[in-house]
């Protein structure tokens, strides 16, 4: 998602108390408990867009701390505006490229990672940019706690097949896989819809989802 540049969005993001400041992001590993002021588990969404999913999750699960990560200020601005209307103590935002995720979370610091409707990057030469690629899975394996889970949803069948193919070479294993989330009761229970999920399921597209864990040697 790349919204038109919104004048002033960078300034709003830089001033917002909901967004962890860029200059202190590198000091974040090991300090999330201090940032939230409690010991609750930390769950993150990478590529959160306008933040509907993570805002709803944070509201429904007040004893989990959520961190929403988004690359573009113009998109993150929408999530910040939502927080201004309905502030949640257990939700913070990071404006960053997920490539640097290892600089912001320490080893085993994250309990759950959500990837929702990640950009497909259809050209082969851009495969490394896909958020469920083996390159990204290697980064997630470091920050995810032992027994932690990663959940990925998309309506893009090609991206989903690619993502499934990345698991074994990256040392990950699937706990659950569906090609039609909304008609599979056990997996759909408690499902929180994202903006893209509402849009594409509304068009009749089935939603694919996996839940995976890292099963390789601890990096
Ligand atoms: N998750 C939302 C949803 O399901 O409605 C938004 C999906 S949108 C297709 C993908 C989002 O991921 C965009 O907002 C994009 O800017 C963000 N994104 C893509 N690559 C990213 C990266 N490397 N780091 C952080 N955010 C990224």
In the chain, what are the domain boundaries?
9-214
C-alpha closest to that of 119 among 132, 130, 135: 130
Indicate the top mutation candidate among 13, 50, 71, 94 to test ligand 1's pocket, ranked by most ligand atoms within 8 A of CB.
Answer: 71
Atom of ligand 1 nearest to the CA of 118: 10
Structure tokens at 149: 């889970």
* Domain 9-214 CATH class label: alpha beta
- Regarding the beta carbon of 101 and ligand 1, being less than 6 Å apart is answered no
Q: What is the pLDDT of residues 125-161, one digit of tens each?
A: 999 999 999 999 999 999 999 999 999 999 999 999 9
Atom of ligand 1 nearest to the CA of 47: 12
Examine the pLDDT at 77 and tell me if it is beyond 70. Answer: yes
Name the pLDDT band for 27 (thresholds 50, 70, 90).
confident
- Regarding the beta carbon of 97 and ligand 1, being less than 6 Å apart is answered yes
Cα distances from 25 to residues 29, 64, 205, 218, in angstroms, run 8, 20, 37, 24
Examine the pLDDT at 1 and tell me if it is beyond 60. Answer: no
- Quick one: average pLDDT of 84-111? 96
- Regarding the beta carbon of 193 and ligand 1, being less than 6 Å apart is answered no
Examine the pLDDT at 76 and tell me if it is beyond 60. Answer: yes
Indicate the top mutation candidate among 49, 101, 122 to test ligand 1's pocket, ranked by most ligand atoms within 8 A of CB.
Answer: 49
Note whether 210 and 130 are within 8 A (CB): no
Examine the pLDDT at 12 and tell me if it is beyond 90. Answer: no
Phi, psi for 52 (deg, rounded to 5): -60, -45
C-alpha closest to that of 29 among 94, 89, 74, 122: 94
119 catalytic per annotation: yes
């Amino acid at each position: 998602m790349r919204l038109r540049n919104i004048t002033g969005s960078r300034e709003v993001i830089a001033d917002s108390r909901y967004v962890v400041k860029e200059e202190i992001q590198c000091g974040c590993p090991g300090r999330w408990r201090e940032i939230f002021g409690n010991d609750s588990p930390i769950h993150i969404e990478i590529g959160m867009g306008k933040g509907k999913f993570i805002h709803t999750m944070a509201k429904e699960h007040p004893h989990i701390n959520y961190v929403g990560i988004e690359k573009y200020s113009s998109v993150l601005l929408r999530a910040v505006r939502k927080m201004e209307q309905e502030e949640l103590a257990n939700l913070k935002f990071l404006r960053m490229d997920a490539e640097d995720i290892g600089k912001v979370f320490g080893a085993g610091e994250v309990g759950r990672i959500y990837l929702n409707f990640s950009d497909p990057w259809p050209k082969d030469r851009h495969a490394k940019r896909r958020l469920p690629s083996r390159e990204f899975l290697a980064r997630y394996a470091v920050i995810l706690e032992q027994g932690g889970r990663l959940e990925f949803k998309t309506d893009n069948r090609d991206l989903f097949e690619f993502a499934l193919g990345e698991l074994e070479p990256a040392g990950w294993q699937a706990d659950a896989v569906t090609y039609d989330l909304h008609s599979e009761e056990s997996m759909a229970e408690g499902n929180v819809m994202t903006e893209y999920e509402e849009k594409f399921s509304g068009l009749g597209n089935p939603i694919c989802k996996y839940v995976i864990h890292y099963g390789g040697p601890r990096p």
